[in-house]
Amino acid sequence: MTDGVHPERWRLYLVTDERVSRGRSHLEVAEAAIRGGADVIQLRDKTASSGTLYRVALAMRKLTREAKVPLIINDRLDIALAVDADGVHVGQDDLPASVVRKLLGPGKILGSRRRRRSNPSWRRRTARTIWAWDRSSRPVGPRRMRRSPGAPG
Protein backbone atom coordinates (compact mmCIF):
# COMPACT_ATOMS: atom_id res chain seq x y z
CA MET A 1 0.00 0.00 0.00
CA THR A 2 1.44 3.32 -1.04
CA ASP A 3 2.51 5.37 1.99
CA GLY A 4 -0.08 3.70 4.27
CA VAL A 5 -3.02 5.80 3.07
CA HIS A 6 -6.17 4.13 4.38
CA PRO A 7 -9.52 4.34 2.55
CA GLU A 8 -11.16 5.91 5.59
CA ARG A 9 -8.90 8.95 5.10
CA TRP A 10 -9.57 9.53 1.41
CA ARG A 11 -11.03 12.93 0.65
CA LEU A 12 -10.59 13.19 -3.12
CA TYR A 13 -10.92 10.00 -5.15
CA LEU A 14 -10.45 10.47 -8.88
CA VAL A 15 -11.68 8.01 -11.49
CA THR A 16 -10.03 8.58 -14.86
CA ASP A 17 -12.23 7.96 -17.89
CA GLU A 18 -11.14 9.28 -21.27
CA ARG A 19 -14.74 9.32 -22.49
CA VAL A 20 -15.41 12.34 -20.26
CA SER A 21 -11.95 13.93 -20.03
CA ARG A 22 -12.34 16.36 -22.94
CA GLY A 23 -9.51 14.92 -25.00
CA ARG A 24 -7.03 14.54 -22.14
CA SER A 25 -5.31 11.22 -21.55
CA HIS A 26 -5.60 9.18 -18.36
CA LEU A 27 -2.09 10.29 -17.46
CA GLU A 28 -2.78 14.00 -18.03
CA VAL A 29 -5.91 13.83 -15.90
CA ALA A 30 -4.13 11.90 -13.14
CA GLU A 31 -1.19 14.34 -13.10
CA ALA A 32 -3.55 17.31 -12.76
CA ALA A 33 -5.56 15.56 -10.05
CA ILE A 34 -2.45 14.72 -8.04
CA ARG A 35 -1.28 18.35 -8.30
CA GLY A 36 -4.76 19.31 -7.07
CA GLY A 37 -4.54 17.03 -4.04
CA ALA A 38 -6.14 13.75 -5.09
CA ASP A 39 -5.74 11.06 -2.41
CA VAL A 40 -6.29 8.10 -4.74
CA ILE A 41 -6.52 7.48 -8.50
CA GLN A 42 -8.67 4.82 -10.15
CA LEU A 43 -7.84 3.88 -13.75
CA ARG A 44 -11.05 3.07 -15.61
CA ASP A 45 -11.13 2.21 -19.30
CA LYS A 46 -13.87 -0.08 -20.56
CA THR A 47 -12.77 0.02 -24.21
CA ALA A 48 -8.96 -0.29 -24.28
CA SER A 49 -7.31 -3.53 -25.33
CA SER A 50 -5.40 -5.44 -22.67
CA GLY A 51 -2.06 -4.35 -24.14
CA THR A 52 -3.02 -0.69 -24.29
CA LEU A 53 -4.49 -0.73 -20.79
CA TYR A 54 -1.36 -2.43 -19.47
CA ARG A 55 0.89 0.28 -20.96
CA VAL A 56 -1.32 3.06 -19.57
CA ALA A 57 -1.45 1.34 -16.16
CA LEU A 58 2.36 1.07 -16.08
CA ALA A 59 2.70 4.79 -16.69
CA MET A 60 0.02 5.53 -14.08
CA ARG A 61 1.77 3.21 -11.59
CA LYS A 62 5.04 5.13 -12.03
CA LEU A 63 3.28 8.46 -11.58
CA THR A 64 1.24 7.42 -8.54
CA ARG A 65 4.14 5.64 -6.86
CA GLU A 66 6.34 8.74 -7.17
CA ALA A 67 3.50 10.87 -5.78
CA LYS A 68 2.71 8.34 -3.01
CA VAL A 69 -0.90 8.16 -4.17
CA PRO A 70 -2.65 4.76 -4.30
CA LEU A 71 -3.57 3.40 -7.73
CA ILE A 72 -6.74 1.34 -8.11
CA ILE A 73 -7.48 -0.49 -11.36
CA ASN A 74 -11.12 -0.78 -12.39
CA ASP A 75 -12.49 -4.26 -13.22
CA ARG A 76 -9.17 -5.76 -14.36
CA LEU A 77 -7.51 -7.88 -11.71
CA ASP A 78 -4.98 -9.10 -14.28
CA ILE A 79 -3.81 -5.57 -15.03
CA ALA A 80 -3.76 -4.66 -11.32
CA LEU A 81 -1.54 -7.64 -10.58
CA ALA A 82 0.68 -7.03 -13.61
CA VAL A 83 1.52 -3.45 -12.60
CA ASP A 84 1.49 -4.04 -8.83
CA ALA A 85 -1.39 -1.62 -8.29
CA ASP A 86 -2.46 -0.82 -4.75
CA GLY A 87 -5.85 -2.31 -5.39
CA VAL A 88 -8.66 -3.22 -7.72
CA HIS A 89 -12.32 -2.26 -7.96
CA VAL A 90 -14.71 -4.95 -9.17
CA GLY A 91 -18.36 -4.73 -10.11
CA GLN A 92 -21.31 -7.01 -9.72
CA ASP A 93 -20.63 -8.71 -13.07
CA ASP A 94 -16.92 -9.32 -12.40
CA LEU A 95 -15.27 -12.10 -10.42
CA PRO A 96 -16.72 -12.44 -6.91
CA ALA A 97 -14.96 -10.22 -4.38
CA SER A 98 -14.01 -13.26 -2.28
CA VAL A 99 -12.12 -14.77 -5.23
CA VAL A 100 -10.50 -11.45 -6.10
CA ARG A 101 -9.34 -11.07 -2.48
CA LYS A 102 -7.61 -14.47 -2.59
CA LEU A 103 -5.83 -13.63 -5.85
CA LEU A 104 -5.02 -10.04 -4.89
CA GLY A 105 -3.47 -11.03 -1.60
CA PRO A 106 -3.02 -9.17 1.67
CA GLY A 107 -2.08 -5.53 1.92
CA LYS A 108 -4.07 -4.54 -1.16
CA ILE A 109 -7.31 -2.60 -1.48
CA LEU A 110 -10.45 -4.23 -2.83
CA GLY A 111 -13.44 -2.16 -3.86
CA SER A 112 -16.60 -4.07 -4.59
CA ARG A 113 -19.71 -2.48 -6.03
CA ARG A 114 -23.00 -4.01 -5.06
CA ARG A 115 -26.49 -3.01 -6.05
CA ARG A 116 -29.65 -3.45 -4.08
CA ARG A 117 -31.68 -6.20 -5.64
CA SER A 118 -35.09 -5.42 -4.18
CA ASN A 119 -36.08 -2.82 -6.75
CA PRO A 120 -34.36 -3.10 -10.15
CA SER A 121 -35.45 0.39 -11.26
CA TRP A 122 -33.42 1.90 -8.40
CA ARG A 123 -30.27 -0.17 -8.93
CA ARG A 124 -28.18 2.51 -10.59
CA ARG A 125 -29.12 5.22 -8.11
CA THR A 126 -28.51 3.13 -5.02
CA ALA A 127 -25.24 1.50 -6.02
CA ARG A 128 -22.69 1.63 -3.23
CA THR A 129 -19.03 0.77 -3.09
CA ILE A 130 -17.72 -1.23 -0.17
CA TRP A 131 -13.96 -1.02 0.43
CA ALA A 132 -12.19 -3.94 2.00
CA TRP A 133 -8.79 -3.42 3.55
CA ASP A 134 -5.85 -5.70 4.14
CA ARG A 135 -6.05 -9.24 5.53
CA SER A 136 -9.32 -8.95 7.38
CA SER A 137 -11.25 -7.83 4.30
CA ARG A 138 -13.44 -5.92 6.70
CA PRO A 139 -15.53 -3.25 5.01
CA VAL A 140 -14.52 0.22 6.00
CA GLY A 141 -17.99 1.43 5.20
CA PRO A 142 -20.15 2.22 2.23
CA ARG A 143 -19.10 5.20 0.20
CA ARG A 144 -21.63 7.01 -1.91
CA MET A 145 -19.95 7.80 -5.21
CA ARG A 146 -21.18 10.96 -6.90
CA ARG A 147 -21.05 11.35 -10.64
CA SER A 148 -19.86 14.60 -12.05
CA PRO A 149 -22.31 16.58 -14.16
CA GLY A 150 -22.30 15.29 -17.71
CA ALA A 151 -20.75 11.95 -16.80
CA PRO A 152 -22.11 9.01 -18.75
CA GLY A 153 -24.91 7.13 -16.97
Domain ranges (residues) in the chain: 2-112
5 or 107, which is more confident? 107
Arithmetic mean of pLDDT over the chain: 78
Q: Cβ(127)–Cβ(113) under 8 Å?
A: yes
Q: What is the structure's pLDDT at 145? A: 45
Task: Tell me which H or E stretch contains 95.
Answer: none
Q: pLDDT by residue (tens digit) across 30-43?
A: 999 999 999 999 99
Closest CA to 4 of 40, 43, 36, 35: 40
Domain 2-112 sits in CATH at 3.20.20.70
pLDDT band for position 6 (50/70/90)? low
* pLDDT of 121 strictly over 60: no
